[in-house]
Chains A and B, each alone.
Chain A
């Protein structure tokens, strides 16, 4: 294993997003600063009888606005389609040529990689349920497999099946950009795209790539996805008031608001960005990962895993907690997460915990699952750019046990140079990255 003589600094030179709050970075940011909720009745499928009947859906998205040749992406899953649009936005901002064999951007494609935290595509639900029905002998409570197979083989299509694989979003981005460098896609539940960005940063820092297209894409707003989360009682069931359902750190929080989307960042070595004269949006300086190793179903009571990941990210960045101005919390609006996360911040930040601004953009955006962390990192970069902390909306009846500064209900102008982005996944995967205003 070759090791570098010097480590590369890693900067962000492009960002793109397709989200329930907007399908460009600027529309997304405008909605965040305005404190708007993206929740509404679920329209992707008929969820009217489900325990939860609302979601944060991407609306009015048209891939053709971002990609000239949509034929390559014709059959792709919802998440991969979002990924392609977000990647095209991010690459254009970074000055990276897309959809062309004639390259003028000066980036060696063998040195440009892709790292996504991308989710699986939705099943072909119609064919799936119909095939189960075709095979099931209800009287005998048994499956007649050849009948199920015949139905599935007749109704399912090869491309649609292939496009369900979680690595396909990265494949679509490779087709757009010609990237031939290190390519990976991870799926550590709700922490996936923070992990993708962190590991991508490491690949550049260690000289294994000059540019990484990193982020996440996911949509679980489909019958089996909502079934799974509803059975876990993880989703809010505030069906009479979807817009106030996501209420992180609030006493009356009752679960998360499910969202969908894609968020992609172009990470680049400082050397490469300078050489190309690229506009630098921020510098990525720290990454920490850990696992709870506690229980399948619950977070560790003392927040052991989140604490370790936060400390590892600080150590990696060479910072102490005094240097952090803003924390974009995982803040899902579940009872457990918001309590444990608050405890983790108190444990790591000690007396400074109450001085640092902490907010959950999930209060507006919903929970983009695999794509959540990268979307929230984009919010951190913009927060630094504009010196403004995004709000936690719907914080109307604070939980007396949760007493940090959650930037309640309205965005706050403040000097903001360094932000920490936290993501914690089901099963105890914890990932934290730190981003800072770029200065030479």
Chain B
């Protein structure tokens, strides 16, 4: 059997801090905040009128010629995922059909894909004329819809919004014919997708996998949902850059945003044999479930998250003492942050006093199914470069959050980094990545 070791060899990120992983990382290191008042629609009426919006792009610039026609079948989630995947593949040095069809250097049947996706909300403006044509006495009339309104919907409408279409478009562009999955577990989707992709590689079903997640959360109805669930911060309308404050005493809720992150995972021997640049090694995957009658909150003791973190550490065959960074989910919702802090403290034991905790959502916002991918990318960059940047908007710890939140930038080797997440509904996950040293053949 081939070695079960999994290397990270490519990164791609679309975030409120920029359209590339480099821009995101530079922004995170500089403590830049990508949160502003929503510009794509008038958000007046929402508890929080702020969001993390991705800078403007033209999707045509990011797809090969052969796929240009298909961009009309892409919702925003798909577009961002496609952009991130392109960057990830190019940065890995792999040559797929989507990079250069003349010089492909991968076996398409040995490449897998696994994308986390949100419950994609349809474009309301696209639907509105059909709804308007289906009214009787000012109210929606289903019989008119079935007869007239429905006919105004573009024939391929449904295909724009199926969660598996992120993976579908990426697999067509890059000719990925191996195992394909799409995880739909809200904010923990990307971790679950990346964890599963690593398991697909470890069991030898593929040599390479593209994995990550994307979601366009800056959508009126998706934000209505967060408003109703009381997860939005009502504070700081005039100071967007101070609004999202994970683990801080003044936190009042989260700010939502959009983004996409994709990583290239690769069997370590495969990566070595082609002389790839290895950014980190994915060492451990842990998963569990939160059990709470209030589905929209993490259980108060964080037990389900604690189990996931413990399992990831055990899977990596390390002690908590060998961690030098934790990137938490840290949304800025006070009850959830408190429960997460308990989970991290319980899982890390005494090491929690030393290990720096660095939340990123104060800068990139809560990006739904993209969250985990963006945080894993940050963890990989941090281990590769040996730096824990300073947390933003953390001044005074919230009561019950006894974590060593990084208040200033620290340089030094990061042996292992752990990142973790959870979602309403209850799934939890954690991943451990290791700084990769050439010639490292511990096992």
Contacts and interface: CB of A to CB of B under 8 A. Distances in A.
A133 B140 contact: yes
A145 B218 CA distance: 13
Contacts of A46: 142-143, 146
Given A1-B285, A146-B45, A168 B425 contact: yes
B159 A427 contact: yes
Interface in A192-242: 195, 199, 202-203, 206, 208, 223-224, 227-233
Contact of A3 (B46, B159, B183, B202): B202
Interface string A154-187: 0011100110111110110011001111111111
B142 A223 contact: yes
Contact of A174 (B142, B150, B203, B289): B289
B176 A291 contact: yes
B164 interface: yes
A305 B168 CA distance: 12
Contact of A182 (B41, B287, B293): B287
Contacts of B124: 132, 135, 143, 148
Most A CB within 10 A of own CB, among B113, B162, B176: B162
Nearest to A291: B180
A228 B157 contact: yes
Contact of B178 (A143, A157, A290): A290
Contacts of B42: 144-146
Contact of B168 (A51, A136, A199, A428): A428
Interface in A17-37: none
A231 B154 contact: yes
A149 B203 contact: no
A230 B150 contact: yes
A162 B139 contact: no
A289 B179 contact: yes
B314 to A, nearest CB: 8
**7 pairs of A and B residues whose beta carbons are closest in the complex:** A228-B158, A49-B146, A427-B168, A291-B180, A289-B179, A129-B140, A158-B228
A348 B156 CA distance: 31
Contact of A149 (B45, B287, B295, B428): B45
A178 B304 CA distance: 11
B180 A296 contact: no
B171 A129 contact: no
17 contacts: A46-B142, A46-B146, A129-B131, A131-B221, A145-B220, A161-B225, A161-B229, A166-B185, A167-B427, A170-B427, A174-B291, A183-B426, A184-B287, A186-B182, A232-B155, A297-B156, A429-B168
Interface in A114-139: 114, 118, 120, 126, 128-133, 135-136, 138
Nearest to B226: A161
A64 interface: no
A319 interface: no
A184 B179 contact: no
A333 to B, nearest CB: 18
A43 interface: no
A203 B195 CA distance: 12
B95 interface: no
Contact of A165 (B119, B165, B175, B176): B119
A250 B174 CA distance: 36
B132 interface: yes
B399 interface: no
A233 B155 contact: yes
Given A195-B181, A296-B168, A148 B220 contact: yes
Given A48-B143, A149-B45, A232-B155, A132 B185 contact: no
B237 interface: no
Interface residues of B, number: 106
B45 A189 contact: no
Contacts of A189: 162, 164
Interface string B70-91: 1001000000000000000000
A110 B168 CA distance: 33
A156 to B, nearest CB: 6
Given A162-B225, A184-B196, A45 B177 contact: no
B125 to A, nearest CB: 5
Contacts of B316: 1
Given A1-B283, A188-B182, A180 B291 contact: yes
A174 B426 contact: yes
B416 to A, nearest CB: 13
Nearest to B432: A1
Given A48-B146, A158-B230, A158-B296, A1 B164 contact: no
A141 interface: yes
Contacts of B293: 72, 175
A232 to B, nearest CB: 6
A1 to B, nearest CB: 5
A46 B6 CA distance: 52
A153 B227 CA distance: 8
Contacts of B198: 1
B441 interface: no
B163 interface: yes
Contact of B44 (A149, A156, A165, A230): A149
Contact of A153 (B125, B143, B224): B224
B424 interface: yes
A152 interface: yes
A158 B156 contact: no
A47 B147 CA distance: 10
A232 B73 CA distance: 13
B367 interface: no
B343 interface: no
Contacts of B289: 113-114, 170-171, 174, 179-181, 183
Contacts of B296: 158, 162
B44 A110 contact: no
B199 interface: yes
Interface string B86-127: 000000000000000000000011000100010100101101
A2 interface: yes
A347 B153 CA distance: 38
Given A133-B138, A133-B139, A296 B228 contact: no
B423 interface: yes
B62 interface: no
A427 B134 CA distance: 31
Interface string A277-313: 0000000000001111111110000001100100010
A3 B4 contact: yes
A414 interface: no
A141 B129 contact: yes
B215 to A, nearest CB: 12
B420 interface: no
A145 B145 contact: no
A152 B221 contact: yes
A165 B186 contact: yes
Given A182-B287, A183-B289, A199-B196, A149 B220 contact: yes
Given A184-B192, A232-B156, A290-B179, A132 B425 contact: no
Given A1-B285, A161-B229, A428-B171, 16 more contacts: A1-B4, A113-B287, A118-B184, A148-B220, A149-B43, A153-B46, A153-B227, A161-B225, A171-B289, A174-B291, A181-B289, A183-B185, A184-B196, A188-B182, A231-B150, A232-B159
Given A183-B427, A426-B162, A223 B145 contact: yes
Contacts of B45: 146, 149-150, 153
B164 A199 contact: no
Contacts of A224: 122
